[in-house]
Structure 1
Amino acid sequence: MILMENIIRDGHPTLRTRAEEFTFPLSTEDKTLAGDMLQYLINSQDDAIAEKYGLRGGIGLAANQVNCLKRMFALHLEDEQGEQLSFVACNPKIVSHSVEQTYLTNGEGCLSVDRAIVGYVPRYSRITVKFMTIDGEEKKLRLSGLPAIAFQHELDHLNGVLFYDRINAKDPFTEIENSTPYKRD
C-alpha cells in the first residue's frame, strides 16, 4: 500500500528526470506498482481510509512521484458527465489538442508539493490521448475539463515538469489567452 511517506517531495531529483518508456509485457513488479498507484488514489478519496492512514486526496499519481522512472501514471476522477474514469496509462501521449486553453480557477496542487503555489496553469481544453494499459492494450480517449487537465499534469511529471513551472512567474494570475476558466467544485 502506498502511503504519503512513499511519495517523494519537491526537490527530489527524480521529479525533474524524464521517465523511460515501457517495453511490453510489463513485469509483475510494474503491474503491482500500477495497481498500488491506482489504489492510493481510490483510498485517498475515501474519507475514512484517508483519515486512518493520513493520505492527502489526489486524482492523479505518476510513477516518478513514487521514485520510479517509468512512463506510467494513474488517474481516478469523474468526467464532466459524472462518469468514473479510473485507469493506469503506460507510455501516454497526447496525439491532438484544442487551440483553446483552460486552467483551474483555484490553481493546481500536487501530492509531491507540500506548499500552496498560487497561479493559473495553462492547459489544453480538449485532448485526444493514446496509451497502453498494463496488459498491453492500446487505448485512445478524448478528454476535456478536469480529466484533460489531470492527464496533462501527470504527463508533465513523466517529463520532469512540475505544475508551477507553467505559472507566469511575473504575474501568476494573468489572463490566459484563448482560454475558458474551469471551476472545480
Structure 2
Amino acid sequence: MYLMKDITRDGNPVLRKVAQKVTFPLSEKNKKLADDMMEYLVNSQDPELGPKYGLRAGVGLAAPQVDESVAMASVLVPNLEDPDKIDLQMTLINPVIISESVQITALGEGEGCLSVDKDIPGYVPRYNKITVRYDDFEGNSQTIRLKGYPAIVCQHEIDHLNGHLFYDKINKKEPLKISDDAIIIE
C-alpha cells in the first residue's frame, strides 16, 4: 500500500518528464502499479483509513507521482453534491485528450496536488468538456467524454504524464484572474 512517503514530491525530475507509453500485454509490474494507485485513492478518501495511515485525500494519482515514468493514471472522483456517490473511477492507460470545449472552467478553491506540499492559490484554467482516448487493461483503445469536475481531474492527471504541474497554468501576475465567461466550480 502506498503511503505519503511513497508520493514523489515537487522537485523530483520524474515529475517534469514525459512519461513512456505503456505497452501490451500489461506487465505484472504495471498491473500492480494500477492496483496500488487506485488503492491509494480509495484508502485516502476513506474516513477511517485515510487518517489512520496519514494519507492526504486524493482524487487522482499519476504514475510519475509514485516515481514511475509510465503513461498511467488512476482517478476516483466523488460527486460534489453527494460525496457518497462516485462520478468516475478508472485507470487511464496512455490517455490523450482528443477534443476539448471552448468553454473554460476552474475550481473556485484552486487545485491541489499530492506531489505539491504547499498551497498555491490561483485559478487553474481547464476545458469544461473533454474527450479522452485511452487504452483499457487489455490494450483496446477506448474513448470517454467528461465534463466539469471529472474533466478537471483527468486534465490534471494527464498533465502529470506530460511533465506539467497544475501551478504551471496559473496566471503568474494575476492568479485570481480568469476569463469572464469561465465556469467556476465551487
TM-score range, shorter chain: over 0.9
TM-score, normalization: structure 2? Answer: 0.94
Identity of aligned residues (%): 49
Report the residue type matching 1:160 in the other structure: G
1:176 offset after TM fit, Å? 2.4
Do residues 47 (structure 1) and 40 (structure 2) align?
Answer: no
Report the residue type matching 1:12 in the other structure: N
Secondary structure, counterpart of 1:165 in structure 2: helix
Q: Deviations over 1:145-177 (max 9, x none)?
A: 110000000000001100000000001001225
Q: Deviations over 1:103-130 (max 9, x none)?
A: 0010000000000000000000000111
CA contact 2:76–2:86 (8 Å) conserved in 1: no
Match of residue 171 from structure 2: 168
Count of equivalent residues: 183
Match of residue 144 from structure 1: 147
Match of residue 104 from structure 1: 107
Report the residue type matching 1:123 in the other structure: R
Q: What CA RMSD, in Å, does the superposition of the two structures yield over aligned residues?
A: 1.4
Match of residue 31 from structure 2: 31
Query: Aligned partners of 2:100 and 2:181: how far apart in 1?
Result: 14
CA contact 2:2–2:37 (8 Å) conserved in 1: yes
CA contact 1:72–1:88 (8 Å) conserved in 2: yes
Match of residue 155 from structure 1: 158
Secondary structure, counterpart of 1:47 in structure 2: coil
Alignment of 1:54-93 (within 5 A): 54-78=54-78, 82-93=85-96
1:133 offset after TM fit, Å? 1.7
CA contact 1:79–1:145 (8 Å) conserved in 2: no
Secondary structure, counterpart of 1:181 in structure 2: strand
Q: Unaligned stretches of 5+ in structure 2?
A: none
Report the residue type matching 2:156 in the other structure: H
Query: Aligned partners of 2:30 and 2:75: how far apart in 1?
Result: 16
1:83 offset after TM fit, Å? 4.5
CA contact 2:87–2:150 (8 Å) conserved in 1: no
Report the residue type matching 1:120 in the other structure: Y
Ranges of 4+ aligned residues in structure 1 off by more than 2 Å: 78-84, 175-178
1:28 offset after TM fit, Å? 0.6
Report the residue type matching 1:54 in the other structure: G
Do residues 126 (structure 1) and 138 (structure 2) align?
Answer: no
